[in-house]
Structure 1
Amino acid sequence: MRWDGQLVTAESPAALPGLAKMSNLVRSVQTPEFAGITFHEVLAKSALSRVPSQSAMPFEWTINPYRGCSHACTYCFARKTHSYLGLNTGLDFDSQLVVKINAGEVLRRELAKQSWKHEQVAMGTNTDPYQRAEGRYKLMPEIIRALADSGTPFSILTKGTLLARDLPLLHAVAKDVEVGMGISLAMTDAGLAHRVEPGTPTPRARLDLIAKLSDAGLQCSVMAMPILPWLTDSEEALDDLCASVAAAGATSLTAGALHLRPGAREWYMQWLAKEYPQLVGRYRRLYDGGTYASKDYRRWLAARVGAAKRRHGLQSGARLRHINKPQLDTARGRQTGGPKAAALPEVGQATLF
């Protein structure tokens, strides 16, 4: 085998028809270490995406260096976005990944504009910035540096243990800008996790990551979303989740019931019919053809989660807190003297991946 053809600088094979029409497509490539996955490398025109004004999100900007996600979570709400590229929301979302190879460079140009107001930027709101592809492309360090150098606060939400690679960098930049950190973990049952989100690090690996964050002085919140009706919502399952994340060093936890948006709904229900056919009818009644579980169920779940959190001393909300509260240097428009907390979203699964 000619390994030279697998380098990031190598020429590409033919792209999928839908992607071949993209004017910014550089190449499509497959590599042995990512069997079954095709990377479609593009030159992004913009790295920052504005959140619609009518959104309830507690931030105004996002960065998504990847489209599609090899974590392959059956419930991922972002699956619908792949249909915009002429790709399907099932296997294509898991295996046809779009990579914005110039994201850091473009971001620096955008942040240098006089019109930039240094509003908070959230990452991990669509697909995971620390999915396995990041090990190949290494886009996040330059993105983090660009944000920090410009004095822009940011938050990261991830299931990817590759985040540990960047802990020294995050610790360093958190002395100058607000940094929020969240780990997505909604179950401790390793067998179930492997079935429902087969490409993610194990629950144990994510608990170890929380401990590494704590050891590095970077406290984090846990986003326990989605909680799966009749699969991860028992008192025992929620109590074990809260006990485990508290023991790992997390200080807060936010939980919410599964959302079934178009694109994700079809894929998740197909998975459910295969793995737990006895639950299909119950899900149909609970969701009644819509996106959200019934209000009664959501109230019941909130009460059960709240009780588990209180038993294990977990707060609500999602913030990273660090050593010293920074003072604002108005001359430079950035902060000094150590970081304060950057908020992570608390508005449900729509902010996850």
Structure 2
Amino acid sequence: MLPPRDPDRILKARGADTQPEGRFERLGRVRESDGWDIPEDGRLLRTEVVTERPRAIITRNSSPDVPFDRSINPYRGCEHGCIYCYARPSHAYLGLSPGLDFETKITAKPDAARLLEREIARRSYKVAPIALGTNTDPYQPVEARLKIMPAILRVLRDWNHPVTLVTRGHTVLRDLALWAELAAKDQTAVGISVTTLDAGLARALEPRAPAPQVRLKMIAALSGAGVPVRVMVAPVIPVLTEPEIERILAAAREAGAVHASIIPLRLPHEVAPLFRDWLQRHRPGMVAHVMGKLQAMRGGRDNDPRYGHRFRGEGIEAQLMHQRFRVARRRLGYREGGPPLDCSRFGPPPRSGDQLSLF
């Protein structure tokens, strides 16, 4: 049960409507009238950005569900405000709400590039592609001002280090020249997430993310610069966005995407009640239908966290979804898998005063 919305708080373009406590909090807050019905001025909820100075920037994982073992996330929280975002529960580790706090209290890591160079310069470091955007979007709105990503990309370019990206942020095009340099050496691939082609639905689901047509233009610009682009039809929401699978794939292919992938909706931890609340507010007549179809793919639950199942689902509904995707992908001429990235050139860049090789 989510707490009621704060009536004195004005929300503008936010995905969540309330601020539930994280799962680790022992105490909760409940608003109670004190009998003094004194009207208060509404307060617009604004985004706050704080700085974090971590000791390391590369995060390791051993999950069999993902094709990478290391990643970098320059930000905690994401102002895009996608209501279904599986990263929302990570804010609970900070003592913050996975609801409105996740999209309004952002933590930035401005030292990311310096830490990255220090870590990959160690003699013990073994090169493999680094994934960006695996938890929160590195090209969310605040990146336009903080410019953490160009510094990261310059380090990776100079060291010939392969990198992948998942984003829906238009600011990626600001760094198009850097992505093109990496792509020219077969050292990058970019994934653009497209959930729906319906601009109105996208505005409600992902209130501060670029509109669908803007994302198709991002695919076209990246592809035109020689960057291999994957369209990520994700998440696929039963009933709501599932009918668009083929249309999204066709539009992205026309824009220049060469790879494609699909992930059914996941609702871990606090995301499930937040998504249910969103459905009640925006699609009240579809709650039972959407959740019933989703649970049919998740073993009767809102979420199935098991390795091998969480990104695919199970049962007839999931099988039909993946079959439709495979047929459309083959018909539209998408390539299987992803582009191989070149790790062979990795090494420190030449420094001023270095002795040049004779050969």
Normalised by the shorter chain, which TM-score bucket?
0.7 to 0.9
CA distance in 1, matches of 2:248, 2:65: 27
Three-state SS of the structure 2 residue aligned to 1:310 is helix
* Matched residue, 1:266: 273
CA deviations 1:20-79 (Å, max 9, x no partner) are: xxxxxxxxxxxxxx971000112121111111x244321111000000001100100000
* Matched residue, 1:133: 142
The structural deviation recorded for 1:120 is: 1.6
Check the 8 A contact 1:207/1:248 in 2, yes or no.
yes
Three-state SS of the structure 2 residue aligned to 1:116 is coil
CA distance in 1, matches of 2:264, 2:214: 23
Three-state SS of the structure 2 residue aligned to 1:217 is coil
* Matched residue, 1:197: 206
CA distance in 1, matches of 2:179, 2:291: 43
The structural deviation recorded for 1:317 is: 3.0
Three-state SS of the structure 1 residue aligned to 2:173 is helix
Q: What stretches of structure 2 of length at least 5 have no aligned partner?
A: 1-21, 23-43, 305-312, 350-359
CA deviations 1:141-200 (Å, max 9, x no partner) are: 111121232332110110011100111112123344621211111211111111111110
CA distance in 2, matches of 1:35, 1:278: 29
Q: 1:160 aligns with which of 165, 169, 172?
A: 169
Q: 1:37 aligns with which of 47, 51, 54?
A: 47
* Matched residue, 1:289: 301
CA distance in 2, matches of 1:221, 1:57: 15
* Matched residue, 1:69: 78
* Matched residue, 2:310: none
Q: Answer yes or no: is 1:144 the counterpart of 2:156.
A: no
- TM-score normalised by the chain length of structure 1: 0.78
Check the 8 A contact 2:79/2:104 in 1, yes or no.
yes
Three-state SS of the structure 2 residue aligned to 1:174 is helix
Three-state SS of the structure 1 residue aligned to 2:253 is helix
Q: 2:325 aligns with which of 282, 301, 305?
A: 305
* Matched residue, 1:240: 247
Q: 1:315 aligns with which of 318, 335, 340?
A: 335
Q: What stretches of structure 1 of length at least 5 have no aligned partner?
A: 1-17, 19-33, 335-353
How is 1:1-353 mapped onto 2 (pairs within 5 angstroms)?
36-51=46-61, 53-176=62-185, 178-234=187-243, 237-286=244-293, 287=295, 288-292=300-304, 294-319=314-339, 328=344, 332=347
> Are the structure 2 counterparts of residues 226 and 320 from structure 1 closer, same or farther at C-alpha, using a change threshold of 3 Å?
farther
- TM-score normalised by the chain length of structure 2: 0.77
CA distance in 1, matches of 2:93, 2:139: 23
CA deviations 1:99-123 (Å, max 9, x no partner) are: 0111111111111111111122100
Amino acid at match of 1:180: A
CA distance in 2, matches of 1:265, 1:180: 31
Three-state SS of the structure 1 residue aligned to 2:87 is helix
> Are the structure 2 counterparts of residues 177 and 217 from structure 1 closer, same or farther at C-alpha, using a change threshold of 3 Å?
closer
> Are the structure 2 counterparts of residues 147 and 302 from structure 1 closer, same or farther at C-alpha, using a change threshold of 3 Å?
same
Three-state SS of the structure 2 residue aligned to 1:132 is coil
What is the alpha-carbon root mean square deviation over aligned residues?
Answer: 2.3
Q: Which stretch of structure 1 is more off in the superposition, 34-43 or 151-160?
A: 34-43
Amino acid at match of 2:97: N
CA deviations 1:221-273 (Å, max 9, x no partner) are: 11111011001112xx2222122111101112111211111121121111011
CA distance in 1, matches of 2:175, 2:54: 23
Check the 8 A contact 2:183/2:226 in 1, yes or no.
no
The structural deviation recorded for 1:299 is: 0.4
> Are the structure 2 counterparts of residues 191 and 123 from structure 1 closer, same or farther at C-alpha, using a change threshold of 3 Å?
same
Number of equivalences: 294
CA distance in 2, matches of 1:327, 1:114: 16
Amino acid at match of 1:245: A
> Are the structure 2 counterparts of residues 102 and 298 from structure 1 closer, same or farther at C-alpha, using a change threshold of 3 Å?
same
Amino acid at match of 1:42: E
Three-state SS of the structure 2 residue aligned to 1:204 is helix
CA distance in 2, matches of 1:316, 1:90: 37
> Are the structure 2 counterparts of residues 123 and 299 from structure 1 closer, same or farther at C-alpha, using a change threshold of 3 Å?
same
The structural deviation recorded for 1:329 is: 5.0
The structural deviation recorded for 1:283 is: 3.6
CA distance in 2, matches of 1:190, 1:284: 23
Check the 8 A contact 1:68/1:93 in 2, yes or no.
yes
CA distance in 1, matches of 2:273, 2:113: 35
* Matched residue, 2:37: none
